[in-house]
Amino acid sequence: MILKRVLAFALFFAAFALNFTLSTTLKLAAQEPLQAMPYSPSLDVTSLDRSVDPCVDFYKFSCGGWEKNNPIPADQAGWSVYAKLGNENQQFLWGILAEDAKAANRTPVQQKVGDYFAACMNTDAIDALGEKPVAPELARIDGLKTRAEVLAALVRLHHEFPGSFFFGSGTGQDAVDSSVVIVELGAGGLGLPDRDYYTKTDEKSVKLREQYAAYIARLLGLTGESAEQAKADAEATLKIETVLAKASLTRVERRDPHKTYHMETIAELGKLAPSIDWPLYFKVQGAPGVASVNVAQPEFMKAVEAELGTEDLGALKGYLRFHLLTAAAPYLAHPYEQANFDFYSKTLRGVPAMPPRWKTCTRAVDRSLGEALGQEFVRRTFSADTKAKTQRMTEQIETAMQHEIEGLDWMSPATKAEALRKLHAIRNKIGYPEKWRDYSALEVKPDDYMGDAMRSYRFENARRWAKLGKPVDRDEWGMTPPTVNAYFNPQMNDINFPAGVLQPPLYDPKEDDAPNYGNTGATIGHELTHAFDDEGRQFDAKGNLRDWWTPEDAKRFEDRINCVRDQYAGYVIVDDVHITSKLTSGEDVADIGGTLLAYIAWKKQTEGLTLAPADGFTPDQRFFVGMAQWACENQRPENLRVSAVTNPHSPGFARIDGVVSNMPEFAKAFGCKAGQPMVHAPMCRVW
Ligand SMILES: [Zn+2]
């Protein structure tokens, strides 16, 4: 009941704000599937705020109008150009899924995505089941009598259920030999977004831990636990997680790949954490006979051992029950889903209202069957022309990077040769995978949502463990095609741009080169620069962790990174919380380098052409406005607080102002003078 009131209030507010900016029909249209992707240009004059001086705050100048025109929807923690496009993708996929759910003569791919969606949409059936889908497993945990039984259950839970049970395990490329797939054990076991949430003593952090304990008790109470028992289990869970958190590396420490690389034999692992029968553990996961493992965080595994070896049995069981439930909650009846939303979205991120069911279900299909749904998406949205043009843009930006490296005055020829070798080995992956993942072994039923979710989880788990002993699949993608994002993978040494991110207003076939190179070009440059940021530079052309820098060059690089760190540490995220620039420096350097590379590539592309001004901007100004407008956003303060701890990216305004203030090309385009805020001194430039 309380939720309904909040929801009505939030919708009223949103509608009120929209009256001044967008038509209300657009608001209503947001509740219908989209038959085609809507269009907005990559340089949008309605997003500007021309009352702001571009030399004082270029982000505000480029995005002030967008901020006013795009209030945060009630079901979102924040809203941005990327998030809005992501939402439109989902709305478009919704129509496809609704059709695939009921169409006759479906292809096998359409059957899977359609039935998964139908099962998720059938909330009456899901609600009628209550906690039944997890009841047998909860009863098994309840019935555990000895420590040995608890440990055996932990091993089995890791194989059968999603959930953060003490630690994580899986497969990955060996950091020093990227051609080999190895087993990795990682830190985990926490219900809050980061270890820092358990260690900080400020008022807001203390209160949040109380609210988290209340959530744990609420969830356990829903299964019929007495209030007293649920409270005790919540306290025990928080106590166990605090021990694990304190033994976990910080996010900044984890950016150092040497700190998370510790190969150990199974015998050595057995000495580190003797409570678990490791040969049995890996056999149960589907990987018998594992000889050695990367124990990413040995100190953390010691803490796990201490907990498993000495913690009260009742406490361990309460912890397992909670982690099983909190992972299953989104797939269970409404009260579970609501409790999960109330803590993780409302309390933690300030989101007033649950997303509509279609959105929850579209996301669920993307998560579980991403490359099946992706085929449906790509077929309808991604043209051969866009693929060819963005491929060409990528090659031009790589050429710009080559010339930059060749021309650096601070880098020795020996390091340059290695850098160029690495640059030329980078693979460009654009749009979608060469070969689609085969889901034929995965059973999907139209009336069994939890079953579908668990079968998909086990299917994916098995797929990952099966990589052991096989050559690395260089064609694999880490994002699904509709995703509005991009990435660089240092071990694959590849840059990846899903079809979802190569659409208007990011890549706009209707616009000329200036805003497109500013926007998508800078994104391509961003991912490419990751290969040479403070983390990426530690990997070589083969994707191996190997120091290819002379000590002098490494020192000069670090000096340049420190310039960027000092600059960004000055920006405030929310209240009095500054950017943790040791966490964000890789992204900040990628933003600065990426924009410069895109600018150089654009200049080359338009060499000899006479470019006309438009919208009151010179061509150079249009490049920069196009660049800035990818980052327009509004964020709830609660979400900004989460970002400050967990997000390696700086907030939108810093990603624009931090970049342009380091570019004389920008200052020249807008006539900015030394001493103005958008002319940073000293100018920080790495690449
Ligand atoms: Zn990045």
CA 604 – ligand 1 centroid, Å: 25
Q: Which two tokens stand for residue 19?
A: 């009256």
Whether residue 406 lies in the annotated active site: no
Q: Are 155 and 280 in contact (CB under 8 A)?
A: yes
Q: Are 182 and 162 in contact (CB under 8 A)?
A: no
CA 303 – ligand 1 centroid, Å: 32
Q: Are 596 and 658 in contact (CB under 8 A)?
A: no
Tens of pLDDT along 140-182?
Answer: 999 999 999 999 999 999 999 999 999 999 999 999 999 999 9
**Mean pLDDT of all residues in the chain?**
95
Q: Are 115 and 108 in contact (CB under 8 A)?
A: no
DSSP letters spanning 559-613 = HHHHHHHHHHHT-EEETTEEP-HHHHHHHHHHHHHHHHHHHHHHHHHTTT--PPP
In whole angstroms, what is the distance from residue 450 CA to residue 364 CA? 11
Q: Are 217 and 234 in contact (CB under 8 A)?
A: yes
Tens of pLDDT along 246-282?
Answer: 999 999 999 999 999 999 999 999 999 999 999 999 9
Q: What b/e sequence results for 430-466 when a residue is b if at least 16 CB atoms lie within 10 Å of its CB, and e otherwise?
A: bbbbeeebebeebebebebbbebbbbbbbbbbeebbe
CA 576 – ligand 1 centroid, Å: 25
**How much is the pLDDT for 6?**
30
**How much is the pLDDT for 30?**
53
CA 643 – ligand 1 centroid, Å: 15
CA 58 – ligand 1 centroid, Å: 21
Q: Which two tokens stand for residue 41?
A: 């240009």
**How much is the pLDDT for 687?**
86
Tens of pLDDT along 94-149?
Answer: 999 999 999 999 999 999 999 999 999 999 999 999 999 999 999 999 999 999 99
Positions of the chain with pLDDT under 50: 1-29
Q: Are 141 and 352 in contact (CB under 8 A)?
A: no
Whether residue 591 lies in the annotated active site: yes
**How much is the pLDDT for 15?**
30
Catalytic residue (one of 174, 366, 448, 527)? 527
- For the chain, the straight-line distance linking the first and the last C-alpha, in angstroms and rounded, comes to 56
In whole angstroms, what is the distance from residue 329 CA to residue 38 CA? 34
Q: Which two tokens stand for residue 421?
A: 């070798």
CA 525 – ligand 1 centroid, Å: 10
Cut 0.85: pTM above it: yes
Tell me 58's DSSP state: H
CA 590 – ligand 1 centroid, Å: 6
The alpha carbons of the chain give a radius of gyration, in whole angstroms, of 26
**How much is the pLDDT for 31?**
79
In whole angstroms, what is the distance from residue 313 CA to residue 150 CA? 8
